[in-house]
């Protein structure tokens, strides 16, 4: 089984978000980048397939040379090889088109993406890949098992979960549940050493028409101070929620 | 040409978000001088849409669509858009609509902006504001394609009544067998409980509640307000509550009218996930807890004393005001 794990290189979840160039560009100054958390759950699940079913795991990212440490980290965690499509990810469709091409060339059975990245929160790349390739697609996926050429998958739905079966090739938009937080792996020294010698292929991007572009960023307006209500005067809280906030 | 929405329903009844996207679409349609058409799937009575400015309904009734299927539903929406010559398609941000939206965009070669939080800032060029960086910022996105797909973030526009004379017609899209290759085997749904996705009010508990045995506090308060229960990440990591209740940046997003956080300090990742909620209340014994910086109302003190009292007060309030 050949698995492709698509990885976004995103600011760490604790990052302060600022912009430069007249609010047109994300300010990377002092920001630590990580594997997108939704992707990391999927990567760990892929490593389980590698360990238990002998799968070969490739990780891929669309990004500039500055994103290579994130791919090396994925290699250190256990991926067999890595691909970087050398382009700045301008919008979801552009990224999906690049990844679809990688998948077409590499004939992967299972493509694991995170359901969304924590930077642009587009949530569209996995579905677009499946749409472009005509593959089966499961979003908000919290479990995947593969037996031969078929998969059993569970996705989260509003207020519950849904179990389905699908044939490979399959694209999933994954999230926590594929593995749990405690299952995530921190690269050990041996992993880091071997990652240095694993293959990282750099591919040049395909042309893609630009359908959307981020023209500007804004930070939320500063919040007015909290109104404190004394613990002995909860009637006041009820009154505020009713008369002022009008939410009860 | 008109503006198209997919008005989602469950068990034959429209979801509230259907009315929100209808209200939103009506306003956008006015600004570009067109009408609103809704496509519905297996919804017998569509008359309610006339209250929210929908002019025309394309009703699809087909047993093959009785269970949700992202590809097939997207194909239906695509064919409806083509029939109507729709240049703008507005979708909601339910789990299902998020699932099908990329297929609609690819099928129509449309630029797609998700998590949209307001009316277009301009329609030429077409620019919308959307949530990005997990609610820590907004991003203005310009869509340059002829056909545009917008995913409206939940509770970001609200429901606005606007009467229209609704016409409806049966619509028979052609369904492609290739769209039915995923077989749904089992659906487990929690019944009798408000889900986080549908809730107007969410009551959330953190580590300050000291253990799963104390969740009665949260549940009692939730019951009075008809609220869904939720929890912070440490609580779900500790196994006190199921993962489906974990809200925050890596859990479920919450965009509700009222969010009450009990014993949650307010880590940046938690706040990011719940920040789209309109009114936030925090109850915490630590006055320095970061949650107080983002909350609208706060009570400093022992949750074990405050929450039962608050539950009682709200019960009395509800009894008087219902």
CATH for A41: 3.40.50.620
Q: Is the pLDDT of residue B191 over 80?
A: no
Which residues in chain A are closer than 8 Å to B110, comparing Cβ atoms? 211
Q: Is A227 within a domain?
A: no
The answer to whether the beta carbons of residues B53 and B164 sit under 8 Å apart is: yes
**Contact assignment for A226 to B279 by CB distance below 8 Å:** no
pLDDT at A6: 98
Question: What are the structural domains, with CATH classification, of chain B?
Answer: 3-180 (3.40.50.620), 201-321 (3.40.50.1220)
Interface with chain B: mutation pick from A92, A134, A157, A244, highest number of B CBs within 10 Å:
A157
Task: Retrieve residue B292's tokens.
Answer: 């107080």
**Contact assignment for B184 to A163 by CB distance below 8 Å:** yes
pLDDT at A84: 98
Give the structural domain span for A98: 2-221
Find the closest chain B residue to A217 by CA distance.
Answer: B139
Interface with chain B: mutation pick from A91, A120, A242, highest number of B CBs within 10 Å:
A120
What are the Cα distances from residue B265, in Å, to A140, B60, B202, B282, B296?
28, 48, 16, 9, 15
Percent with pLDDT over 90 in chain B? 90
The alpha carbon of residue A47 is apart from the nearest alpha carbon of chain B, in Å, by: 21
Quote the CA–CA distance of B136 and B242 in Å, as a whole number.
26
Q: Is A167 within a domain?
A: yes
**Contact assignment for A162 to B258 by CB distance below 8 Å:** no
B207 annotated binding-site participant:
yes
Q: What is the DSSP string of B225-253?
A: HTPEEEE-HHHHHTTSS-GGGBBSTTSB-
Q: Looking at this predicted complex, what is its ipTM?
A: 0.95
- Quick: pLDDT tens for B8-59: 999 889 999 999 999 999 999 999 999 999 999 999 999 999 999 999 999 9
Which residues in chain A are closer than 8 Å to B188, comparing Cβ atoms? 160-163
Which residues in chain B are closer than 8 Å to A145, comparing Cβ atoms? none
B130 annotated binding-site participant:
no
What are the Cα distances from residue B288, in Å, to A94, B265, B300, B306, B310?
44, 9, 10, 18, 22
Which residues in chain A are closer than 8 Å to B278, comparing Cβ atoms? 245, 247
SS3 (DSSP) at A110: strand
Find the closest chain A residue to B283 by CA distance.
Answer: A231
- Half-sphere exposure in the Cβ direction for A195 (13 Å, CA): 21
Q: Give burial (CB, 10 Å; 0-12/13-18/19+) of B321.
A: exposed
B203 annotated binding-site participant:
no
The answer to whether the beta carbons of residues A150 and A170 sit under 8 Å apart is: no
B268 annotated binding-site participant:
yes
Selection from A209-213, A224-228, B141-145 with the highest mean pLDDT: B141-145
Angle at alpha carbon of residue B161, lines to B160 and B167, rounded to 5°: 125
Find the closest chain B residue to A97 by CA distance.
Answer: B106
How many contiguous H segments (helices) and E segments (strands) does chain B have? 8, 18
Q: Is the pLDDT of residue B192 over 80?
A: no
Number of domains observed in the structure of chain A:
1
Q: Is the pLDDT of residue B244 over 90?
A: no
Interface A-B: count of C-beta contacts within 8 A: 253
- Quick: pLDDT tens for A117-144: 999 999 999 999 999 999 999 999 999 9
**Contact assignment for A211 to B112 by CB distance below 8 Å:** yes
Global confidence as pTM: 0.93
């Amino acid at each position: 089984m050949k698995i492709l794990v698509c990885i976004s290189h995103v600011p760490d979840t604790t990052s302060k978000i600022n912009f430069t160039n007249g609010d047109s560009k994300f300010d990377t100054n002092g920001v630590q980048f990580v594997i997108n958390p939704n992707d990391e759950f999927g990567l760990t699940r892929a490593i389980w397939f590698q360990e238990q079913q002998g799968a070969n795991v490739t990780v891929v990212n669309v990004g500039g040379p500055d994103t290579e440490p994130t791919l090396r980290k994925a290699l250190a965690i256990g991926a067999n090889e890595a691909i970087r499509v050398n382009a700045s990810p301008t919008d979801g469709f552009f990224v999906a088109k690049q990844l679809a091409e990688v998948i077409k060339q590499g004939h992967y059975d299972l493509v694991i993406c995170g359901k969304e990245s924590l930077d642009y929160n587009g949530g569209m790349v996995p579905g677009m890949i499946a749409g472009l390739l005509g593959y089966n697609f499961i979003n908000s996926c919290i479990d995947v098992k593969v037996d031969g050429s078929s998969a059993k998958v569970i996705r989260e739905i509003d207020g519950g979960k849904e179990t389905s079966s699908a044939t490979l090739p399959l694209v999933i938009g994954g999230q926590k549940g594929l593995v749990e937080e405690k299952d995530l792996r921190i690269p050990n020294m041996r992993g880091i050493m071997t990652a240095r010698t694993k293959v990282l292929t750099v591919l040049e991007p395909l042309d893609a028409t630009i359908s959307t572009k981020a023209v500007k960023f804004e930070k939320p307006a500063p919040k007015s101070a909290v109104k404190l209500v004394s613990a002995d005067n909860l009637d006041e809280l009820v009154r505020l929620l009713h008369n002022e906030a009008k939410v009860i | 040409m008109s503006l198209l929405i997919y008005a989602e329903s469950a068990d034959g009844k429209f979801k509230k978000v259907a009315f929100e996207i209808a209200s939103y679409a009506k306003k956008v349609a006015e600004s570009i001088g067109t009408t609103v058409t809704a496509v519905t799937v297996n919804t017998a009575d569509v008359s309610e849409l006339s209250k929210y400015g929908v002019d025309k309904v394309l009703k699809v009734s087909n047993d093959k669509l009785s269970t949700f299927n992202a590809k097939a539903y997207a194909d239906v929406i695509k064919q409806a858009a083509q029939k109507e010559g729709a240049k703008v398609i507005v979708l909601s941000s339910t789990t299902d609509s998020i699932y099908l939206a990329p297929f609609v965009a690819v099928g129509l070669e449309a630029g797609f902006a998700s998590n949209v939080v307001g009316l277009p800032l301009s329609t030429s060029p077409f620019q919308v504001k959307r949530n990005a960086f997990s609610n820590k910022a907004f991003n203005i996105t310009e869509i340059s394609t002829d056909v545009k797909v917008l995913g409206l973030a939940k509770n970001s526009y609200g429901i606005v009544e606007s009467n229209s004379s609704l016409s409806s017609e049966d619509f028979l899209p052609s369904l492609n067998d290739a769209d039915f290759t995923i077989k749904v085997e089992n659906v487990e749904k929690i019944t009798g409980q408000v889900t986080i996705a549908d809730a107007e009010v969410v009551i959330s508990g953190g580590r300050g509640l000291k253990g799963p045995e104390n969740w009665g506090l949260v549940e009692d308060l939730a019951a009075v307000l008809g609220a869904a229960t939720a929890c912070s990440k440490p609580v779900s990591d500790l196994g006190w509550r199921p993962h489906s209740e974990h809200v925050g940046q890596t859990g479920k997003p919450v965009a509700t009218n009222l969010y009450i956080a009990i014993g949650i300090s307010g880590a940046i990742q938690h706040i990011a996930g719940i920040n789209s909620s309109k009114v936030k209340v925090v109850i915490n014994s630590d006055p320095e807890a970061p949650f107080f910086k983002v909350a609208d109302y706060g009570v400093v003190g022992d949750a074990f004393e405050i929450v039962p009292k608050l539950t009682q007060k709200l019960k009395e309030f509800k009894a008087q005001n219902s």
